[in-house]
Chains A and B, each alone.
Chain A
Amino acid sequence: MLKFGAKRWLFIGIALAIAASFLSPNFNRYYLGVGIDVGIAIILAVSLNLINGHTGQFSLGHAGFMAVGGYFAAWISLKLGESAEVFFPLSLLAGGLFAALIGLFVGIPSLRLRGDYLAIVTLGFGEIIRVVAQNTEAIGAASGLKGIPKLTNLGWTFGLAALTIYIITALVNSTYGRGFLAVHDDEIAAESSGINTTRYKVVAFVTGSFFAGIAGGLYAHHKQFLAPTGFDWLKSVEIVVMVILGGMGRTAGVVAAAILLTLLPEFLREVSEYRMILYALLIIFLMILRPEGLFAFKLKRRQTS
């Protein structure tokens, strides 16, 4: 699929995002805000999809890595003060790298575990990150981190969303990246075909954490306020549901699900008191009736590059 001019699509995506960014002062502020929410959700869901979908590992701690990146990037911006805007891309990158580093520390010991054990351990790490944030004065402790400059705009959000989609798709659609799917399908066969399954899992985990960190940075400079409670495991579940709804391992479906699930609460504002109940029911019925995802049709896997 990415054989010809894959990079060209990436550039088109980024160009569109930047153009939108210049036009954005004309947009309604509410829609603008929702639009950025959507972009951040896409980054989170597509990156988690590499771990949970393509590689078949079950992480329930994506929000934790988002928190790491968000807090770190926001902290840098606050330290920089005036010049935060100039260094914004670097702050985002630093947040992503820091999240990736934590992901590495978390991934190496825990990825030996399988299935639900891994889910619980990643959930645990997410909670530990939250508790640490709650108790660290430098980042506002329990009362949260306030006064983060508003630097996130459509351009950055969708430019980075395009980059995320490109990177994950390019990765998976290469011989190297087929290894992730091999690990997903059969770890023992993968090992005996020379695929270092541990390394693949860690690489998937670190890559996913990196983008979660980037998304966290965008989120921080969008909401201008971070509270530890915003990154509890319910947030992780939300991202997991996007991945499942989209059909694990199908990037296009996951993007669609991220858009849908971010917009859905906005439409449900009328019945907001029942919103979360409906959301929970949606999860249950989806799992029982359409476990392969909403957009799963009997497709042959796309031919490879």
Chain B
Amino acid sequence: MSEPLLELKDVTIRFGGLTAVSALDLTIHSNELIGLIGPNGAGKTTAFNMITGVYRPTSGQITFAGKNTLGIKPSRLAGLGVARTFQNIRLFGSLTVLDNIRVATQLHNPTGYFGSLWRGKNWKTGEAKLEKQALELLEIFDLAKFRDELATSLPYGAQRRLEIVRALATHPKLLLLDEPAAGMNPAEKDELIRLIRFVKDRYQLSVLLVEHDMKVVMGICERIAVLEYGRKIAEGTPKEIQCHPKVIEAYLGAAAV
């Protein structure tokens, strides 16, 4: 296979006395859809936070597209192509749906501070382009009808979708989804599965998915890594994971084995 897109080597992070993630190795190639599962508190979100630069690992190495990302701010990582959503939806509450997307689209085509003061021709065409881009994205994900609503006034499912669109607006190479199915009903979950597949194919990107819902994870992931107490206890195809003894033990307790 080609050079990996994202590579975690021996990554460990401690908060005070607690080791949240310990010696984690993980590799993601381009255009792969990987699942990251594990019981509550296993360190999945912490792993996300290290990949996106929110937390800095205590030790170990993370490379993205051949670049060492340790100590790089999340905003710069977004520029390099890492985008994410959050477990507890984090939209910009005082902005409209359209603006939530527009602030993210400007990442690669900034219209600038002085531009917005002078408001010359270049600025106007630039702004128009950003708006068009944002609208197209909203159109694709069936959110255009909400364009002028405040983001936080949308129905729950639409908010989740909007967060994904905002992440896509930064043109990522890697998309991290943190429990996107949380709080969804079965119909919405089916819809989500379809959506994730569609995103991956259309934008040719890799997806790292943290999810509790096994149906979603097993349904779409090509490979799954399992964390427990901050350690990776298994990795493999959905089939392999389903009958992996350590995984069963982690989820159901030792007695079930």
Contact = CB atoms under 8 A, between A and B. Distances in A.
Contact of B75 (A2, A181, A184, A196): A196
Interface string A57-83: 000000000000000000000000000
Nearest to A203: B113
A193 B92 CA distance: 11
Contact of A300 (B73, B84, B86, B150): B150
Interface stretch (A34-42, A93-101, A135-143, A169-177): A169-177
Contact of B102 (A178, A249, A301): A178
Given A175-B130, A195-B75, A186 B92 contact: yes
Contact of A189 (B86, B115, B150): B86
Contact of A193 (B78, B116, B150): B78
Interface string A196-225: 111000010000000000000000000000
A174 to B, nearest CB: 3
A192 B52 contact: yes
Contacts of B98: 304
Contacts, number: 120
A179 B103 contact: yes
A150 interface: no
A37 to B, nearest CB: 27
A249 B94 contact: yes
Contacts of A192: 52, 54, 74-75, 78, 83-84, 167
B96 A304 contact: yes
B187 to A, nearest CB: 27
- Could you say which interface size class chain A belongs to? 35 or more
B174 to A, nearest CB: 12
- Of A7, A170, A195, A198, which is in contact with the most chain B CB atoms at under 10 Å from its CB? A195
Interface in B92-124: 92-96, 98-99, 102-107, 110-113, 115-117, 119, 123
A190 interface: yes
Given A171-B117, A174-B116, A175-B102, A182 B166 contact: no
Contact of A176 (B90, B106, B148): B106
A2 B119 CA distance: 10
A176 B119 contact: no
Interface in B156-191: 166-167, 169-170
A176 B75 contact: no
- Of A2, A189, A193, A203, which is in contact with the most chain B CB atoms at under 10 Å from its CB? A193
